[in-house]
Amino acid sequence: MIDRLMANPTLVYAFLGSYLVLLVLLCGYGIHRYQLVHLFYKYRSNAPKLRACFRRLPRVTIQLPMYNERSVAARIIDASCRIDYPRDRLQIQVLDDSTDGTVEVARSAVARWRAKGMDIVHLHRSVRTGYKAGALQEGLRSATGEFVLIFDADFVPPTDILTKTIHYFTDPGVGMVQARWEHINRDQSLLTRTQAILLDGHFVIEHAARNRSGRFMSFNGTAGLWRIGCIDDAGGWQHDTLTEDLDLSYRAQMKGWKFVYLPDLTSPAELPPDMEAFKQQQYRWAKGGAQTCRKLLPTVLRSRLPLRVKIEAFFHLTSCTAYLYVTLLTLFLYPVIYLKVHLFAEGWGRYLFDASVLLLATCGATSFYVASQRVQFKTWAESLKYVPFLMALGIGISLSNSRAALAGFFGKPGEFVRTPKYATCRGDERWKRQVRVSRRRQGAAHVQSMLELAFGCYLASCLALCLIHQKITIGLPFLCLFMVGYFYVPLNTWFGHRLSRGASLGHASHPVPEIPTR
């Protein structure tokens, strides 16, 4: 059948035209990543500076949204109550939408700290209206602070986070101050190490480049301090997208509010040690990004914002579409290799396969992630050895995230599916038992994993075609890498929690602070 199709010149040129369009689109997003690295180094010295300090510290409310977080609920409550800030200036709200034993765990921890004189309340909702955004907005109704500090349940905030962020609000134009995420279980496994590098690229390079060059950055849903007046002015927390943090960030900055990013102030959190949990998290972020793009990008482009801000907003809000291009290019690989073998033995066409596979590999902006590790750990070698797996994992989840982007652009808002937390750290394998007990959506996960496995087999056939015809090219190692990614993701989804050993992979994990409970 493919012989008859490729014998038709019109179809061949239509196919090649579509393929080249996809290559150009993907190349555009790759170049954007390089541009972010350039902006990071160009504006690296443009760090935020304190101009003044409060004579009398303002009142702050800490909000701790949680939903069925039994393993980590007490830890985040204890850590928040230990934050160094005058008690008469601090209120803590535990915004609990749980339907399991988390309710009793949280209620007990709140009662214990209230008995010590802490102004802390447990607000439990039996109906999750608006999910996390709804809980945050409802909590603001009874908040007594001028500012609100938000932490997800798996975070362990440092005790000095308020003293290092609050004084930036002496500038009346500042609406939000964001700390950088660190990772409690960075070295637990190859999966968590790779996730850490992915997030480091976002927090070390991307956030700093945008914020310091005058472009829009986003609040990350946690480890950030907001001026409540800014939230109200921007229209409050809204739940028509799954990324309420990105949505509010753009609405606030379009209103003229300034954001401050502090990369040297870190708050450790847990990375999902389970592949299915990681994919759920990535799916929610990709779908929510597409929803926010559909909701806000037209308004941004019609506004009178500077052109550089509009261009960056376009790439930021449409970044989820890159997964679609990767998936489509993957599907096109077999016909491209066929053309290379049979029709383009000579001339420019024979380089099409090599160019496209190299583009898939390099437009993941290897330099983007390597630079983030260089900034943090001052060495290239430590980061370079994880780059191949980084590329493989990025390709492996592209099918799932493509579905998410399409659902975000064309589907309904959907349910906010929380990322499971296990209070895990290096060497702790108790999370595996929890995965076996709490694994949900097995049907959907099974179908998705079967499709990913089929993609792996498809890439294996592409590899076989190259080897049979002895067309060994520079793109072949990358083709192998992508095939490994598509095999690794479904197999790890099914068996990872049974087979992984939590081995150390390099740097010491971020220590979890000892939190006294009495």
Selecting among 152, 154, 187, 245, the annotated active-site residue is 245
- Using alpha carbons, select from 368, 218, 230, 235 the residue that is nearest to residue 293: 218
Q: How many whole angstroms separate alpha carbon 271 and alpha carbon 483?
A: 25
SS3 of 262, please?
Answer: strand
Selecting among 97, 152, 154, 187, the annotated active-site residue is 97
Q: Write the CB contacts of 319 (distance below 8 Å, at least 6 apart in sequence).
A: 29, 289
Q: How many whole angstroms separate alpha carbon 353 and alpha carbon 332?
A: 10
Q: How many whole angstroms separate alpha carbon 316 and alpha carbon 297?
A: 10
Q: How many whole angstroms separate alpha carbon 434 and alpha carbon 423?
A: 11
Rg (alpha carbons) of the chain, rounded to whole number: 24
Q: What distance, in Å, lies between the first and last C-alpha atoms of the chain? A: 73
Is residue 119 part of the annotated active site? The answer reads no
Burial 296-313 (b: 16+ CB within 10 A, else e): bbeebeeeebeeebbebb
DSSP 476-491: HHHHHHHHHHHHHHHH
Is residue 97 part of the annotated active site? The answer reads yes
The single-letter code of the amino acid at 39 is L
Token representation of residue 80? 């928040």
Question: Known catalytic residues?
Answer: 97, 245
